[in-house]
Chain A
């Protein structure tokens, strides 16, 4: 069996039936073997698009996504997506072709040191230098990608190994990972913290969904009536219908979420890393709180803020042991009135000339099926999605959090739709970001996939414009995109149906038409060029000093 055949055989034995990728010289043997393999390959139109599709596949299923590219430019085109997967802990296996071993190190055609390039943006990277190492390395790559805190693993395979014979793997060795575990004593201390506190808040991160711990989290929250806030990646894990649910916290967090955290005396951080977009000015973040930090990754404990107590390990083992019962009526009353006082007043779209993005996204959220998957790009629209749309599972909200990569939305939606053919998949894109992977419209047409695209077009690089307005004295530099192409014509060139709306009253019927349409669809939504995201916590400011409304800025 050749190396290329062995890779595909291994994948199908593992139940992996989907690959995203792009062919080229060094990886050609694998593409040749694909012709005889049941594993289905999806051709994207850029390696970055292929890897984002694999990320969308992985994030929407909580499974490993697989992506393939050739050496040199194929591999370098993947790097942004690897970094994205690294910072958002996405399990990915990326296979790159490399020039044949005798040519390695000679600046051969399309040779780059992809192993070297990948080191700091992968959980692990390997280069296969002996045919007998191919299958064990691949097997290890899959196990590593999903073990503990997940992440991307790169495996670089020289062309002559793909072409030559490789020995079969008789039994697949289980790699022995040692996971951190917390002691009974620590659990007892945690229960004691829960007992003693008077104003707790649960802070939910992406680790909960990735650990498949949503049920245990919800049980823990409901049983104790905890107020709960969420990071971008945590959205969907806690139940948004829960009385104490306050939504997104941080730089563009909702006022009640940020204020509750600033007031609490115990912050229970679960599967999260106290990222700077969450904490704002670190030494004024949750200033009265003791920190109980629960995570799988020891390196996150005490990284940005000292924990009073940390519990390391599998959330599904830890959460059920936190049995101390909470009942703090006074604090719950404070939370309830905070929530009510700060609740968002949505504009009535039918009475509006222009389209208010928060109201539009809330009505989209209400119109979607309960298991719909929403991906987005990066910028103002991304924050509006996080603030105003509601998700039942973390796997339904695909957003580039840690790296904040423009161009994520469309290819991630493609991967999600491939993985979930029966579910509604909507990509909410910014006009700037959309153009960064717009070539993937060709992928939508090719398969064809019924992804719905909403381009929220403010003719600006809106988030950068917002910062120029607020923090750079309205000196607008290179953020005007008023020369955007006509998006519906662009869609038409790919045989994708489309619609353009400019007024509030058009929103509801346009969403309905879009969702009823059988195939792919692009809804071009024209927004005011001047709208901004509120609230915002200015740089180096404590979260409770957020600017809640436009007038706060003057």
Chain B
């Protein structure tokens, strides 16, 4: 299980996008908490899946509405090599 905390620009469909990417890349949503503050949306979600979580974070990182992403892995699943917190590295590509 992995915990992801995302800070999003509160644009239409921003949350849908996150959920869609999560499903499409092969992860299951275990829990999700969403808060709105002015122009931002904070999403805390726990996801599980058998693939390395970097395959999910690297795709979430591409979302234009994403401001920040933080990953804490709660327990390692098979094939996971990267357990350290990952912070958003790049936008716009």
Contacts and interface: CB of A to CB of B under 8 A. Distances in A.
A124 interface: yes
Interface residues of B, number: 20
Given A124-B64, A302-B54, A303-B55, A119 B16 contact: yes
A120 interface: yes
A312 B58 CA distance: 13
A297 B16 contact: no
Contact of B92 (A120, A127, A177, A302): A177
Interface string A135-168: 0000000001001110000000000000000000
A149 B13 contact: no
A206 to B, nearest CB: 15
A116 B3 CA distance: 26
A178 B91 CA distance: 5
A177 B66 CA distance: 12
Interface in B40-85: 52, 54-55, 58-59, 61-62, 64
B19 to A, nearest CB: 10
Nearest to B62: A299
A296 interface: yes
Interface of B is mostly: loop
Contacts of B92: 144, 147-148, 175, 177-179
Interface of A is mostly: loop
A127 B90 CA distance: 24
B32 interface: no
B11 interface: yes
A310 to B, nearest CB: 11
Given A125-B13, A129-B12, A119 B91 contact: no
A116 B89 contact: no
Given A120-B20, A298-B58, A299-B62, A149 B93 contact: yes
Contacts, number: 58
Given A124-B64, A298-B61, A299-B61, A179 B90 contact: yes
B90 A298 contact: yes
A120 B13 CA distance: 11
Nearest to B55: A303
Interface in A374-392: none
Nearest to A127: B12
Interface residues of A, number: 27
Given A298-B61, A299-B59, A116 B91 contact: no
Contacts of B12: 115, 126-127, 129
A123 B12 CA distance: 15
Q: Which of B11, B12, B13, B90 has the most CB of A within 10 A?
A: B90
Contact of B58 (A149, A179, A299): A299
Contacts of A149: 93
A119 B14 CA distance: 10
Contacts of A312: 90
Contacts of A129: 12
A180 interface: yes
Nearest to A147: B92
Contacts of A177: 91-93
A126 B55 CA distance: 25
Contacts of B59: 299
B32 to A, nearest CB: 17
Nearest to B65: A124
B64 to A, nearest CB: 5
A124 B59 CA distance: 13
Contact of B93 (A115, A119, A147, A302): A147
Contacts of A123: 64
A375 B57 CA distance: 36
A303 B16 CA distance: 23
Nearest to A149: B93
B13 A115 contact: yes
B72 to A, nearest CB: 20
A116 B16 contact: yes
A119 B90 contact: no
Interface string B13-25: 1001100100010
Interface string A78-116: 000000000000000000000000000000000000011
A144 B61 CA distance: 15
Closest 3 CB pairs of A and B: A148-B93, A177-B92, A299-B58
Interface of A: 115-116, 119-120, 123-127, 129, 144, 147-149, 175, 177-180, 296-299, 301-303, 312
15 contacts: A119-B17, A119-B20, A120-B20, A120-B24, A125-B13, A127-B13, A144-B64, A148-B90, A148-B92, A177-B91, A178-B90, A178-B92, A180-B90, A297-B62, A312-B90
